[in-house]
Structure 1
């Protein structure tokens, strides 16, 4: 074996700078995907059939095709469809948000349906408007139930963000690949990138558990 991790030590700060890019993409895409997921989940439980059909079709498309395909369609296909090239960062955020929204919508829908129907019936009997009932009564209870699943989706998004290196976004993976090409040693920088992703995932896992414990204590 011809391994020498000391050879990439000078390049480690350069790779570490990619953490900021990775987290920016994950946070922005995660928030957009969360709000999109809420909207789609409300469509799915709506009494208006066309809204439910649209949400189901949307979910089936984005869950049934690879994320990397969606990313490349948005980035490489944008000049042909809209007439100009979308920036790599924007394409990454957009593709991840659209994809994540499909998965989150199913998680939220299941959480809403898991809330005791008596809560909704009581709210309706008291004349609480539907939007207020969903916002103040149903949704808070649903979010408590689905927090672990939401954190898992966020962790998955963090790991999958590595594919943005395919469109030259300077995230952790892209920088590790550049260092590998510069040093003619790919194993060491890629292992270092893997360690960074592992630490990010472990940190998110601990944050998720802490939030879950706090929400349980507040019950």
Structure 2
């Protein structure tokens, strides 16, 4: 089997794996944004308890490898609770929690970048803390955070390849299954690398475009 034949025969399976990769990444990032928003606000809260909760969560997640987190949840927690996780569900949970810790720092940085006077002005108008955040602070902070959020999405896509350890049939796992059938690891991993490269390059271009648009908008 030459390279073109290998490419033709393997592409349907690889595209299915790529679809799983993108689906898990998108769903995980949505949950990660929610988690990051909550814990990002916790980190700047005046409550010592909320700050401590956020600090412990971020410290643990950022201080342990993603592969260990995946194995701990899928095998460790699964055995402890006597349940068998669906691999894709476990992958989404792990990626959401992992990316959420980094998103929390992105949100913290974005919120801190907004002039503190904005919050004071909102409070003077009678807005409570959460309404001030929702109406005044976050809309401004989001502009600062969008490039970082897209960058985290790129990182999350790369991280899905680690989920092969819990048998998720994403792009890398699909390639490994094909390799087990045709024993052509060099060609197959080259194809997989190119597919990741195309996807991530496209997202990087989008990120750079958005960053330029936001910078132009800020100057005007």
Which residue is 1:191 aligned to?
Answer: 190
Runs of 4+ in 1 over 3 A off after TM superposition: 210-219
Task: Output one character per residue of 1:42-95: Cα deviation in whole Å (capped at 9) or x when no partner.
Answer: 111111110100100000000000001001111111332211111100110000
Say if 2:6 is the partner of 1:8: yes
Say if 2:143 is the partner of 1:134: no
The 8 Å contact of residues 4 and 188 in structure 1, kept in 2 or not, is answered as no
Which residue is 1:159 aligned to?
Answer: 158
Which residue is 1:107 aligned to?
Answer: 106
Distance 2:189 2:133 in 1: 46
- Which has the larger displacement, 198-207 or 101-110? 198-207
What is the root-mean-square deviation of aligned Cα atoms in Å? Answer: 1.6
Which residue is 1:210 aligned to?
Answer: 209
Distance 1:126 1:7 in 2: 68
Distance 1:52 1:78 in 2: 26
- 3-state SS in 2 of match to 1:17: helix
Unaligned residue ranges in structure 2 (runs of 5+): none
Distance 1:72 1:140 in 2: 37
- What does 1:169-188 align with in structure 2 at a 5 Å threshold? 169-188=168-187
Distance 1:82 1:143 in 2: 39
The 8 Å contact of residues 30 and 97 in structure 1, kept in 2 or not, is answered as yes
Distance 1:168 1:20 in 2: 16
- Which has the larger displacement, 209-218 or 23-32? 209-218
The 8 Å contact of residues 78 and 85 in structure 1, kept in 2 or not, is answered as no
- What does 1:64-83 align with in structure 2 at a 5 Å threshold? 64-83=63-82
Distance 2:188 2:61 in 1: 32
The 8 Å contact of residues 180 and 187 in structure 1, kept in 2 or not, is answered as no
- 3-state SS in 2 of match to 1:34: helix
What TM-score do you get using the length of structure 1 for normalisation? Answer: 0.94
Distance 1:193 1:199 in 2: 10
- 3-state SS in 1 of match to 2:46: coil
What TM-score do you get using the length of structure 2 for normalisation? Answer: 0.93
The 8 Å contact of residues 147 and 210 in structure 2, kept in 1 or not, is answered as no
- 3-state SS in 1 of match to 2:126: coil
Cα offset, 1:210, TM superposition: 3.3
Distance 1:184 1:5 in 2: 13
Cα offset, 1:213, TM superposition: 4.0
